[in-house]
């Protein structure tokens, strides 16, 4: 284990991505998105993804140049084509535009097509919450969940995040409709660990504790047909409404180094002040959090957490104490650093 500050990791990732051909502004956006995940304790979507991002840039399967363009725009809606550039670049552009337009129209939705892996959905909804708005973000991703009743993967582990501001930490739900995100299997495999039963099924449809076998099979949806239904609807928003790819027509981040991924996203910002005064909303969310946290705890439960509370607290703690990087991920970063002439110190 090695410990780094968020700033050290951000600067390292920005330099590497810039040397890989990304503009300094876009490199800083991607780096911030990755490091935010590590700060929040979502290591599966942090700097451990830098390696595959670089491999795809090197293979020419992700555009280095910023080709993000607005296809159509009205006061409360935006359709964006990300031009196959890095996921966080098109996604950040779309959420920033939603926040800007929601301040006028009251709310704004933006679809993004022809994009790539965008990291955590919470990264974008927290932007809206910081601006005193409600944020919603979803993305589709390579098929890894079977529709209820089948063993064939059709939908991705398409995550949904919703965030609201409070008087203190924002309340941030960020969840894949599978028991866990695929990133947790990828990280477990990288660290040589097994996974708990109930996370994944092998290609034979049987439960597995081997992350490599789970990666070849499917991930278990939450709540059976309900998780499967949620994954389908996220794909309808991100793949169908955006005019992009859906279901098995998306290509795999790791297995396909020839074709663009074809990822789609959707974002929404809602200006709270158009409904109730922002301060009233903030204080009522804080009241709700306090009431929930004060409820009777089940045996063995030491604290009740609001959605995102664990991640936001960890974020504050790691900003102060630093981020511990596993030996496997550190070795990967060192190898990348040597290749691009950037040292991580
Ligand atoms: N870009 C992509 O293609 C992609 C695909 C899938 C998932 N993801 C990301 O992967 C990350 C992990 O997803 P996940 O589904 O494994 O998340 P998770 O299961 O770790 O957490 C889901 C939600 O539950 C909340 N939670 C967890 N423990 C809690 C507790 N004890 N009490 C109250 N709330 C609690 C968390 O705050 C979070 O909001 C997310 O950031 C998601 O956006 C990205």
Ligand 1 pocket, residue 52 CB under 6 Å: no
Instruction: Say whether pLDDT at 53 is over 90.
Output: yes
Q: What is the pLDDT of residue 276?
A: 98
Mean pLDDT of 217-244: 97
- Helix, strand or coil for residue 67? coil
Q: What is the pLDDT of residue 183?
A: 86
Distance between Cα 74 and ligand 1 center (Å): 32
- CATH number, domain containing residue 106: 3.30.1370.60
Pocket-testing residue among 41, 123, 138, 159, ligand 1, by greatest number of atoms within 8 A of Cβ: 159
Instruction: Say whether pLDDT at 213 is over 80.
Output: yes
Name the residue at shortest CA distance from atom 35 of ligand 1: 307
Does any domain span residue 283?
no
Pocket-testing residue among 46, 53, 138, 175, ligand 1, by greatest number of atoms within 8 A of Cβ: 175
Does any domain span residue 51?
yes
71 secondary structure, DSSP code: E
Give yes or no for a contact between 124 and 267, defined as CB atoms under 8 angstroms apart: yes
Does any domain span residue 125?
yes
Beta strand pairing status for 107-115 and 218-219? unpaired
pLDDT tens-digit profile of 288-311?
A: 999 999 999 999 999 999 999 999
Q: Domain range spanning residue 24?
A: 2-178+221-277+313-340
Sequence-distant (≥ 6) Cβ neighbours of residue 264 within 8 angstroms: 111, 112, 113, 114, 115, 139, 140, 238, 239, 242, 244, 245, 246
Q: What is the pLDDT of residue 36?
A: 98
Mean pLDDT of 200-208: 91
Distance between Cα 316 and ligand 1 center (Å): 18
Does any domain span residue 285?
no
Instruction: Say whether pLDDT at 3 is over 80.
Output: yes
Mean pLDDT of 194-205: 93
Ligand 1 pocket, residue 264 CB under 6 Å: no
Question: What's the rounded Cα separation, in Å, for the pair 158 and 145?
Answer: 9
Considering only the C-alpha atoms of the chain, give the largest distance between any 2 of them, rounded to a whole number of Å. 55
Instruction: Say whether pLDDT at 151 is over 80.
Output: yes
**Dihedral sign of CA atoms 194, 199, 202, 203 in order:** negative
Distance between Cα 177 and ligand 1 center (Å): 9
Does any domain span residue 253?
yes
Question: What's the rounded Cα separation, in Å, for the pair 185 and 192?
Answer: 10
- Range with lowest mean pLDDT among 20-29, 180-189, 324-333: 180-189
Distance between Cα 174 and ligand 1 center (Å): 5
Ligand 1 pocket, residue 118 CB under 6 Å: yes
Ligand 1 pocket, residue 311 CB under 6 Å: yes
Mean pLDDT of 146-173: 95
Q: What crossing angle do the helices spanning 24-39 and 309-321 adopt, rounded to 10°?
A: 110
Distance between Cα 341 and ligand 1 center (Å): 34
Q: What is the pLDDT of residue 182?
A: 86
Atom in ligand 1 nearest the alpha carbon of residue 87: 1
Name the residue at shortest CA distance from atom 26 of ligand 1: 307
Determine what percent of the chain is predicted with pLDDT higher than 90. 95
Q: What is the pLDDT of residue 24?
A: 98
Does any domain span residue 188?
no
- Range with lowest mean pLDDT among 40-49, 52-61, 179-188: 179-188
Instruction: Say whether pLDDT at 111 is over 80.
Output: yes
Q: What is the pLDDT of residue 273?
A: 98
Q: What is the pLDDT of residue 40?
A: 98
Distance between Cα 75 and ligand 1 center (Å): 32
Name the residue at shortest CA distance from atom 44 of ligand 1: 120
Q: What is the pLDDT of residue 205?
A: 87
Instruction: Say whether pLDDT at 345 is over 80.
Output: no
Ligand 1 pocket, residue 42 CB under 6 Å: yes
Q: What is the pLDDT of residue 269?
A: 99
Ligand 1 pocket, residue 139 CB under 6 Å: yes
Q: What is the pLDDT of residue 190?
A: 87
Count of domains forming the chain: 1
Ligand 1 pocket, residue 123 CB under 6 Å: no
Distance between Cα 178 and ligand 1 center (Å): 10
Does any domain span residue 265?
yes
What's the pLDDT band for 282 if we cut at 50, 70, 90?
A: very high
Who has greater pLDDT, 150 or 226?
A: 226
Give yes or no for a contact between 140 and 239, defined as CB atoms under 8 angstroms apart: yes
Distance between Cα 179 and ligand 1 center (Å): 9
Give the tokens for residue 152: 């064939």
Q: What is the pLDDT of residue 334?
A: 95
Mean pLDDT of 269-284: 98
Q: What is the pLDDT of residue 123?
A: 98
Ligand 1 pocket, residue 260 CB under 6 Å: no
Q: What is the pLDDT of residue 1?
A: 86
Does any domain span residue 296?
no
Q: What is the pLDDT of residue 328?
A: 92
Ligand 1 pocket, residue 175 CB under 6 Å: yes
In total, the chain counts a number of residues equal to 345
């Amino acid at each position: 284990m090695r410990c780094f500050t968020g700033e050290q990791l951000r600067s390292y990732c920005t330099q590497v991505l810039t040397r890989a051909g990304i503009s300094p502004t876009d490199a800083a956006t991607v780096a911030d998105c990755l490091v935010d995940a590590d700060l929040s304790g979502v290591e599966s979507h942090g700097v451990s993804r830098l390696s595959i991002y670089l491999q795809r840039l090197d293979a020419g399967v992700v555009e280095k140049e910023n080709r993000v363009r607005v296809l159509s725009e009205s006061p409360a809606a935006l359709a964006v084509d990300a031009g196959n550039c890095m996921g966080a670049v098109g996604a950040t552009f779309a959420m920033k535009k939603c926040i800007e337009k929601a301040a006028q129209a009251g709310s704004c939705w933006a679809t993004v097509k022809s994009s790539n892996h965008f990291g955590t959905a919470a990264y974008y909804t927290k932007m809206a919450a910081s601006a005193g708005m409600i944020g919603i973000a979803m993305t589709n991703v390579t098929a890894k969940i079977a529709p209820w009743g089948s063993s064939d993967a059709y939908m991705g582990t398409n995550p949904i995040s919703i965030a609201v501001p409070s008087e203190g930490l924002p309340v941030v739900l960020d969840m894949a409709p599978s028991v866990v995100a695929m990133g947790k299997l990828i990280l477990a495999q990288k660290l040589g660990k097994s996974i708990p039963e109930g996370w994944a099924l092998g290609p034979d449809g049987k439960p597995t504790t081997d992350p490599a076998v789970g990666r070849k099979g499917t991930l278990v949806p939450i709540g059976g047909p309900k998780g499967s239904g949620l994954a389908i609807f996220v794909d309808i928003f991100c793949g169908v409404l955006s005019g992009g790819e859906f279901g098995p027509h998306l290509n795999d981040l790791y297995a396909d180094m020839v074709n663009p991924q074809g990822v789609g996203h959707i974002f929404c910002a809602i200006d709270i002040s158009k409904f109730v005064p922002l301060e009233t909303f903030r204080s009522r969310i804080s009241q709700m959090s306090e009431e929930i946290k004060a409820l009777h705890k089940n045996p063995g439960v030491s604290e009740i957490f609001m959605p995102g509370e664990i991640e936001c607290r960890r974020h504050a703690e790691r900003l102060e104490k630093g981020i511990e990087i596993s030996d496997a991920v550190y070795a990967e970063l060192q190898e990348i650093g040597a290749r691009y002439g950037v040292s991580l110190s």
